[in-house]
Every structure is written in structure tokens, then in C-alpha cells.
Structure 1
Amino acid sequence: MTVFFKTIGFSIGLALVFTLVTQLLPQVEGEAPVETKVDLASLTMDDFVAMGEDLFMNKGTCTLCHKPPPIGRAPDIQSMDMVSTSSERLADERYQGESKDAADYILESMIDPSKFVVAGWGKKGSNDTVSPMPAVDKAPIQLSAMEMDAIIAYLQAKDGNEVTISLPSPEAAAEVVAAAPAAGGVAPAPAATAEEALGKYACSACHAMDSEDPLVGPGLATVGARLSETEIRQSIVDPAAVITEGFPPAMPADFAEKMTVRELEMLVQHLAEKK
């Protein structure tokens, strides 16, 4: 009988420990994805510009790198007049693209960023010929044509310039805009796999997953050989706790608020296996 009660007591204690650990981890509920369609009948240019600002700040992940120095890993374009800046870059002898005006240049810089690399901001070892920036119309960011137009409209309007981008055509009415929760949208569904979580949180926009080549952050091909699961988990939920030498504190600090417990643990396990 004593053994029985000891066993029951041990089981209850173990359950309490797991409950405590669960409560200490991020508790974010995933929501089912809901399509948010643009109401073209009432959409104004001010609305479109506001949409572009929200995309710039959220889904586009632009502010991960485009920050003021010294923490920025790309030019701080929010502090620049991008219309006049675009004209200067188009006239630069190093420009390799085909754009003719500011709107074309901004679009080109999003989908083929290596056409012009700002001096000092190129991928390490490329002599400023290769941009570390991912193409935003490809995975993991995957902005639509309409979303990129909205960002261009925002970058034109923010400094009082004329917006030359047209409002979406009726054919774009069915196009889904993955709006951030702050803009009235809903959170994406929880990732089902570690690979989905990597895409959902745009990890590969800053980290090379299959090599140790540095991008915005260090490469993660063998991160499991360098860090324990506990250290990997900490680097995600509290990235400022330990900063890798040679890299600025550019990683977002709010992943603990955005990730579900399951997403976090899938990422930790996936990265821990990279050795």
C-alpha cells in the first residue's frame, strides 16, 4: 500500500512539474486563417498607403534589417526620401537593372535586390555585388503583386511625394491580402511542421539554413553542434540574452508572443538536429 501511495504521489508531482513548464513557455493560440479581401469599391489611396505601411512593418519583414544604425543590417529607408534616393541610384554607374523611374526601381529592389547593392551593404565577400536581401515575392515572404504595389505607394507617400502607383484593378478583387492582426486581419494558422514554422516566421530571410554563411544573422547548418536545446530555445524567445559576436541585435524580440508552444518546440528540435 505504501508503494502504491508513493507511486500516485510521484505521478501527481510529475504532472504538476510538466504543467508548470508548460505555463512558463509562450502561450499563443493559433487562429484559423481567414481570407481578407480588398473592398475595391471603397478602397482609397490613403487606405492603400496604410496597407503598404502595415505590410512593410509586418508581413514584408522589412524592418528586420532596414533599421537605423548601428543595429540596422540594411539602409534605413524609412528615414530616406525613396523617390529622390531611387533617382540617385538609377544614375549610379554600378546600377545593373532596367528601371526608368522610382516606382520601377523600388519594385525591382524587392524582387531582384542584387541589381543594385548599396555600397557597404552587400553580402560578405561579394564586394557589394550580391545583396543579402531575399526576393520578397518568393518564399518565405511571398508578397503578391498588389502587396508590393501597396509598399511602393507607402514609400512614395511617406515623404510627401506623388503616388504614381494605381489602385488595384477589379481583377485584383479576389486577391487575398495576408493582413497583420493589428490591421484587422487574423493570425495565420499554426505551422504543422518545423519547415512550415521556418517559413511562417521568415527565418531564412536572415539565416542560411544549409550553410554557415552569414547573412543578416549567422548560418544555422550546424547550430545543433554549437548550442544545446536550452540555448536554442533562449535564442528564439530572448534573442538579446546572448548576441553572437560580429552580429548586431537585429532579431525580433517578440517571437515568444507570436509562436505557439508547439511551433517553438518544433523549431528547437529541428535546429538541435543540425550538426
Structure 2
Amino acid sequence: MKVFIRIVIFSILISMAYWGFSNYGIPQVIPELPPVEEQISGSMTMDQYIALGGKIFNGKGTCTLCHNPVGGRAPLLVESGKDGAPIGARAADRLKDPQYKGKAKTAEEYIHESMVDPSAFVVTGFGKPGTNDTVSPMPNINKGSIGLNEAEIGAVISYLQKSAGVQVTVKLPTGPAPVAAAAPAEPQSAKTAEEAFGKHGCTTCHKIPGIEEAGDVGPDLTGLSGRAGKTVKGLIPEQYVMQSILNPDAFTVKGFEPGTMPADLGEKMTAKELEMIVKYLLEKKG
């Protein structure tokens, strides 16, 4: 009987701890619509097209997740870095690199190829570990959870060229102006954890058990269920995973740089999505 009472008391304490963290440790989670294709037409000016490219580069395209001065996990694109000038200015030089085996003939084609077939040429030091810089960790941005269309890709290229101070060679898209869009639907939460991973770009950086698409910019989440309760003292597994999503810089896994993972997922993820993701990661054993 005493053992039973202890178990009940322990269960109540755990429930209270979880409730407290859920109500006071988690910032407000605001629903957000999933990324949609940008409205692009032949009525746009080049300045508008370039501005749209910047919006995609810093937003939907998730480019700055890796291409930033903080993590050092991917070459800088709009700033000068250890590998040279901004990509718009150095793209032509890549074609002359003895290791380049791609199909591009111009600087514009090289940037496009780097986005849709990133392993065609991997900058030295930025390949997947163990591949001798022959395989890129970058996903194809015209597929998967990012899924940019050709007009969006062109906009990003124009932005990169303009940022580098070189001539913009991308042609403006042709076609009629889009009709007025209908009022946006109510924000919808992902229906499954797998869908939530894709919606929020988790697989762009992480290897997740049971998910084919995978990245290695962030920690491998395989086997997380076995170590989540042992990583940060005082946090039970659910608390640790939630903290890692909502306040990623509170604890950084050894070998990874702080500031790499977006800190605004709490503003983009619905409470239901957060719950599904935490449950999925803690239930998967491998």
C-alpha cells in the first residue's frame, strides 16, 4: 500500500512539474500559415523582383539558417567571408575551380545549380563529414519542405547578384498579373508530427528517426528518447525537448554553435504541433 501511495504521489509531482513548465516555461505559441508561393508576374519591376528575392532569402527559403556569420556551417553569400567575396561576385570564379564538375556555363547558372543540385560542387570544408567534400549537407531548395519554384529561385539569384554589386542577369518572369487573392484561410496546424517537421524545416538541419529527408547541420535526433532526460540537470525529457525547440540557446549540444537554430519557433508553431513533435521524438527509439 505504501509503495502504491508513493507511486501516486510521484506521478502527481511529475504532472505538476509538467503543468508548470507548460504554463509558465513555454512562451505563447502563435499559429502561422505554412509558406505559400509568392505572387510573381510580368508586371513586376526588377527592383520589386530583387526585393522579393531578399524576402525569400531571409524567410521562406531558410537560407540564413546556415549561411550566416554565426555558425560557420555554410559559405557566406551576401557578405565577404574566408572563402572570398559575396557569391554574386565570386560565382564566375567557381566555374574555373579544377574541382568543379557541374554543368553551369555562367555565374547565374552556377548559383542556380548550387540551389537545386548543391552536391554538383561543394566548397572545400563545407561537405558532409566523411565525404571528402563531395556531398553537400544543403537540401535541394526546389524540393521537400522548402520547395521554391523557378520564379522564386530567380528572385533569390537576382538578390544575390544585386547584393554583390554585379550586373543582375536574371530575366524578369513573364505572364499576367495574378488575380486578387482570396482572404487567407484560418491558420491550420499540421495533422501529424511528420507534417510538422516538414512545415517548420526541421529536416533541413536534423536527422530525425523515421524521416527520409535529413540534414546534419544540427544534432542527430536519433535516439533522443534515451538521452533527453540526462542532458540538462533538472529537466525531464519533455522539458528538455521543449526547451530545445523554444529556447534553443539555453543549452547547446557539444560540437554545435549557439545561434544556429531559429529562436522564433515559439511564434510560428502551434501548441498542437509542439506537442506532436515532442511526443514523436520521445517515442522513437532509433
Q: Which TM bucket (shorter chain)?
A: 0.7 to 0.9
Counterpart contact for 2:158–2:170, Cα < 8 Å: yes
Distance in structure 1 (CA, Å) of the matches to 2:36 and 2:207: 31
Using the size of structure 1 for normalisation, the TM-score is 0.81
Distance in structure 2 (CA, Å) of the matches to 1:34 and 1:198: 13
Q: Counterpart in 2 of 1:143?
A: 148
Q: Counterpart in 1 of 2:69?
A: 68
Structure 1 range deviating more: 99-108 or 27-36 = 27-36
Matched, 1:269 2:279: yes
1:218 to partner: Cα distance:
1.4
Q: Counterpart in 2 of 1:55?
A: 56
1:163 to partner: Cα distance:
1.1
1:20 to partner: Cα distance:
8.8
Q: Counterpart in 2 of 1:78?
A: 78
Q: Counterpart in 2 of 1:4?
A: none
Counterpart of 1:65 in structure 2: which amino acid? C
1:133 to partner: Cα distance:
0.4
* Change over 3 Å in CA distance of 1:187–1:139 after alignment to 2: farther
Distance in structure 1 (CA, Å) of the matches to 2:64 and 2:185: 20
Counterpart of 1:202 in structure 2: which amino acid? G
Deviations 1:182-223 (A, max 9, x none): xxx999632221111100111011011138x97101111211
Q: Counterpart in 2 of 1:44?
A: 45
Q: Counterpart in 2 of 1:247?
A: 256
Q: Counterpart in 2 of 1:215?
A: 216
* Change over 3 Å in CA distance of 1:136–1:96 after alignment to 2: same
Q: Counterpart in 2 of 1:7?
A: none
1:40 to partner: Cα distance:
3.0
Counterpart of 1:270 in structure 2: which amino acid? Y
1:122 to partner: Cα distance:
0.5
SS at match of 2:57: helix
Q: Counterpart in 2 of 1:154?
A: 159
| Same amino acid, percent of matched pairs | 45
Counterpart contact for 1:33–1:187, Cα < 8 Å: no
Counterpart of 1:143 in structure 2: which amino acid? L
Deviations 1:35-58 (A, max 9, x none): 776363641111110110010011
Counterpart of 1:141 in structure 2: which amino acid? I
Counterpart contact for 1:122–1:129, Cα < 8 Å: yes
Deviations 1:56-104 (A, max 9, x none): 01111100100115x2210111103323311111100111101011110
Q: Counterpart in 1 of 2:198?
A: 199
Distance in structure 2 (CA, Å) of the matches to 1:234 and 1:136: 28
Deviations 1:86-143 (A, max 9, x none): 1111100111101011110011000110111000111011111110000001101111
Counterpart contact for 1:26–1:259, Cα < 8 Å: no
SS at match of 2:112: helix
What is the count of residue pairs matched by the alignment? 250
SS at match of 2:134: coil
Counterpart contact for 1:209–1:220, Cα < 8 Å: yes
Counterpart contact for 1:110–1:135, Cα < 8 Å: yes
SS at match of 2:64: helix
Structure 1 range deviating more: 142-151 or 34-43 = 34-43
RMSD over aligned Cα atoms? 2.9
* Change over 3 Å in CA distance of 1:114–1:39 after alignment to 2: closer
Q: Return the match for 2:117 from 109, 112, 116.
A: 112
SS at match of 1:118: coil
* Change over 3 Å in CA distance of 1:120–1:34 after alignment to 2: closer
SS at match of 1:158: helix
Counterpart contact for 1:31–1:187, Cα < 8 Å: no
Q: Counterpart in 2 of 1:130?
A: 135
**Gaps in structure 1 of 5+ consecutive residues:** 1-13, 177-184
* Change over 3 Å in CA distance of 1:219–1:171 after alignment to 2: farther
SS at match of 1:264: helix
Counterpart contact for 2:32–2:187, Cα < 8 Å: yes
Using the size of structure 2 for normalisation, the TM-score is 0.79
Distance in structure 2 (CA, Å) of the matches to 1:138 and 1:240: 29
Distance in structure 1 (CA, Å) of the matches to 2:136 and 2:170: 25
**Gaps in structure 2 of 5+ consecutive residues:** 1-14, 80-84, 229-236
Distance in structure 2 (CA, Å) of the matches to 1:67 and 1:32: 25
SS at match of 2:78: helix
Counterpart of 1:234 in structure 2: which amino acid? Q
Q: Counterpart in 1 of 2:98?
A: 93
